[in-house]
């Protein structure tokens, strides 16, 4: 049996229940969405994560006030988040040792994507240079999306700062694609799987499929013009035969393998 170059499973490391209009301008009603974390096993480079979900402190209402800020646990609809949802607990449940994770890739550093950074002090952390700069000094209207406590302890970690599209290992297996708009340094990840073909994990490049289809932005996007250009790029990926998955779209998450079921 030939060992696959790459295989992937996903986890929900931050379920939120919130007004649908928070994700899709003008939409009605409430929606429960996942925060998707991808666990990637690379034949040469070992376990790799794409995003890290919500920090475990948010499971406790008092600790969440200190970590995220007053009222944000309720504002983001994170009351259903438990200690067992945090990525460290889920990885250990699946039999991984946190110290074995060699690379952690970030779509961006918002509090539902970078919450687990400090669980992996020995990994190489990979983000766009613009995103790192903005996370440390965000524009005021986007600052609520970042929680300094997620990454303040990682100031001296080993960061690989990217500038644009990057074939991470120069073997075509993992390609990071710049998709600015939601944040200045947002990036997605294209995986080239032997049996399931190419898939694109696009984080918050769009939030819901309906928004992507109809060019509807999110109110908290950093730059709407950049977001619309990114929507065009996502549609181009789809036209080329790459399946695009969004971090918070419930239907997209349901279509992916999760909790130890793998695609290769």
Compute the distance between CA of residue 190 and CA of residue 30 in angstroms, rounded to an integer. Answer: 30
Per-residue pLDDT tens for 97-148?
Answer: 999 999 999 999 999 999 999 999 999 999 999 999 999 999 888 899 999 9
Q: What phi and psi values does residue 138 have, to the nearest 5 degrees?
A: -75, 155
Per-residue pLDDT tens for 143-174?
Answer: 999 999 999 999 999 999 999 999 999 999 99
Maximal CA-CA distance, the chain:
54
Percent of the chain with pLDDT over 70: 99
pLDDT at 119: 98
| Tokens representing residue 116 in the block | 């687990």
Per-residue pLDDT tens for 9-23?
Answer: 999 999 999 998 888
Task: Say yes or no to pLDDT of 1 above 60.
Answer: no
Identify the CA nearest to 205 among candidates 174, 172, 238. Answer: 238
Q: What phi and psi values does residue 214 have, to the nearest 5 degrees?
A: -115, 15
- Give the burial class of 122: count Cβ atoms within 10 A of its Cβ; 0-12 exposed, 13-18 middle, 19 or more buried: exposed
- Strands 158-162 and 166-167, bridge-based pairing: unpaired
CATH homologous superfamily for the domain 6-255: Ribonuclease Z/Hydroxyacylglutathione hydrolase-like (3.60.15.10)
pLDDT at 253: 98
Task: Say yes or no to pLDDT of 2 above 70.
Answer: no
Residue spans per domain, the chain = 6-255
Per-residue pLDDT tens for 50-65?
Answer: 999 999 999 999 999 9
Task: Characterise 261 by phi-psi region: left (phi > 0), alpha (psi -120 to 50), beta (else).
Answer: beta
Predicted structure pTM score: 0.96
Judge whether 187 and 128 are in contact, CB under 8 Å. yes
Burial string for 34-60 (b: 16+ CB within 10 Å, else e) reads bbbbbbbbbeebebbbbbbbbbbbbbe
8 — pLDDT class (breaks 50, 70, 90): very high
């Amino acid at each position: 049996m030939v060992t696959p170059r790459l295989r992937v499973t996903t986890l929900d490391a931050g379920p939120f229940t919130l007004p649908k209009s928070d994700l899709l301008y003008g939409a009605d009603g409430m929606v429960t969405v996942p925060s998707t974390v991808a666990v990637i096993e690379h034949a040469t480079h070992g376990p790799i994560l794409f995003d890290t979900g919500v920090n475990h402190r948010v499971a406790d209402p008092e600790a969440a006030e200190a970590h995220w800020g007053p009222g944000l646990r309720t504002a983001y609809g994170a009351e259903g988040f438990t200690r067992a949802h945090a990525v460290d607990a889920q990885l250990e449940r699946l039999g991984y040792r946190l110290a074995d994770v060699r690379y952690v890739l970030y779509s961006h550093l918002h509090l539902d994507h970078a919450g687990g950074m400090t669980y992996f002090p020995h990994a190489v952390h990979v983000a766009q240079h613009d995103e790192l700069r903005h996370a440390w000094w965000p524009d005021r209207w986007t600052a609520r999306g970042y929680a300094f406590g997620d990454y303040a302890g990682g100031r001296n970690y080993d960061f690989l700062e990217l500038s644009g599209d990057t074939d991470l290992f120069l073997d075509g297996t993992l390609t990071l694609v710049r998709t600015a708009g939601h944040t200045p340094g947002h990036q997605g990840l294209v995986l080239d799987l032997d049996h399931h073909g190419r898939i694109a994990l696009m984080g918050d490049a769009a939030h819901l499929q309906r928004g992507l289809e109809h060019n509807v932005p999110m109110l908290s996007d950093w730059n709407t013009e950049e977001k619309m250009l990114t929507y065009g790029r996502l549609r181009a990926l789809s036209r080329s035969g790459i399946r695009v998955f969004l971090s918070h779209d419930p239907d997209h998450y349901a279509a992916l393998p999760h909790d130890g079921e793998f695609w290769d």
